[in-house]
Amino acid sequence: MNAARLDALARPTRQTAEVGQTLSIHRLNLFYGAQQALFDIDLELPAQRITAFIGASGCGKSSLLRCCNRLHELIDGCRMQGEIRLGERNIQQEDVTELRRRIGMVFQKPNPFPGSIWQNVAFGLRIAGIRRKRDLDEAVEQALQGAALWDEVKDRLHSPAFGLSGGQQQRLVIARAIAIEPQVLLLDEPCSALDPISTLKIEELMFELKSRFTLLIVTHNMQQAARVSDVTAFMHQGRVVEFSPTDTLFTRPAQQQTEDYITGRYG
């Protein structure tokens, strides 16, 4: 039953070159020096769906997310075994800059660059080779529309990004990430620094974005995982205990450990 539902969820709703692709993780083990943090992870994260990683603090959610765009390589002594494929391509064999263009990331704390709202969004587009002002203006508007921020900032595009509220900054960072049309968007607790209204806006935005991207979200908030995601992976001490359609995982978990966690018996 679960396998059939996962299989149905794994079918993208739209097939073009632009849309998200399945991220397949095979036999992944991760070490920080001598300490092993992730054990034998095998997951197929479906395209054009939202997958949530949940689990108690320290279970390895962020470590797993970081492996997906090779950010773990920036940590001294960190070593990954196993394989991650985006579509047909092994991400280890990609140019890392190009990989991070295709797999964007949004962090817990909004991190706009110093500079204007316009400059923040245009940054990646310029690196991607777009030079003409008119083309940049158009792409910046499109990305801000896509991040549901355009109406709030269209009259102050050249004001400092730091003048925006925390929730607006987070949507700006999402606009910056989607401007360069990634295939996957990794979100590491994107709402944990935000108030409930801004959180709602980001959740609605994620829902919009999933028609174009493959989304992975790490969240401590189980209600949020239940509200926004299609598929959920519950992790415990570096292992995936259960990976199921979200409604199944939260209403009829297959594992006792999952049930204990979602009913608040530990964690």
Ligand X SMILES: Nc1ncnc2c1ncn2[C@@H]1O[C@H](COP(=O)(O)OP(=O)(O)OP(=O)(O)O)[C@@H](O)[C@H]1O
Which residues are at the interface with ligand X (CB under 6 A)?
A: 32, 37, 55, 57-63, 75, 220
- Count the helices and strands in the chain (H runs, E runs): 11, 10
The CB-of-204 to ligand X minimum distance in angstroms stands at: 24
Question: What SS3 string covers 173-209?
Answer: HHHHHHHCCCCEEEEECCCCCCCHHHHHHHHHHHHHH
The CB-of-121 to ligand X minimum distance in angstroms stands at: 28
CB nearer to ligand X: pick between 43 and 180: 43
Whether 115 and 168 have beta carbons less than 8 Å apart is answered as no
Whether 199 and 188 have beta carbons less than 8 Å apart is answered as no
Instruction: Name, in order, each residue with C-beta under 8 angstroms of 226's C-beta and a sequence gap of 6 or more.
Output: 246, 247, 250
CB nearer to ligand X: pick between 220 and 239: 220
Q: Rounded to an integer, what distance in angstroms lies between the CA atom of residue 71 and that of residue 104?
A: 11
CB nearer to ligand X: pick between 29 and 142: 29
CB nearer to ligand X: pick between 22 and 219: 219
Identify which of 199, 217, 235 has the alpha carbon closest to the alpha carbon of residue 28.
235
Whether 37 and 31 have beta carbons less than 8 Å apart is answered as yes
Place of tokens 């964007």: 104
The CB-of-232 to ligand X minimum distance in angstroms stands at: 14
Whether 242 and 254 have beta carbons less than 8 Å apart is answered as yes
The CB-of-189 to ligand X minimum distance in angstroms stands at: 7
The CB-of-108 to ligand X minimum distance in angstroms stands at: 8
* C-alpha separations of 88 from 24, 94, 190 in Å: 9, 12, 28
State which H helix or E strand residue 28 sits in: strand 23-32
The CB-of-187 to ligand X minimum distance in angstroms stands at: 13
The CB-of-120 to ligand X minimum distance in angstroms stands at: 26
CB nearer to ligand X: pick between 76 and 151: 76
CB nearer to ligand X: pick between 124 and 238: 238
CB nearer to ligand X: pick between 19 and 215: 215
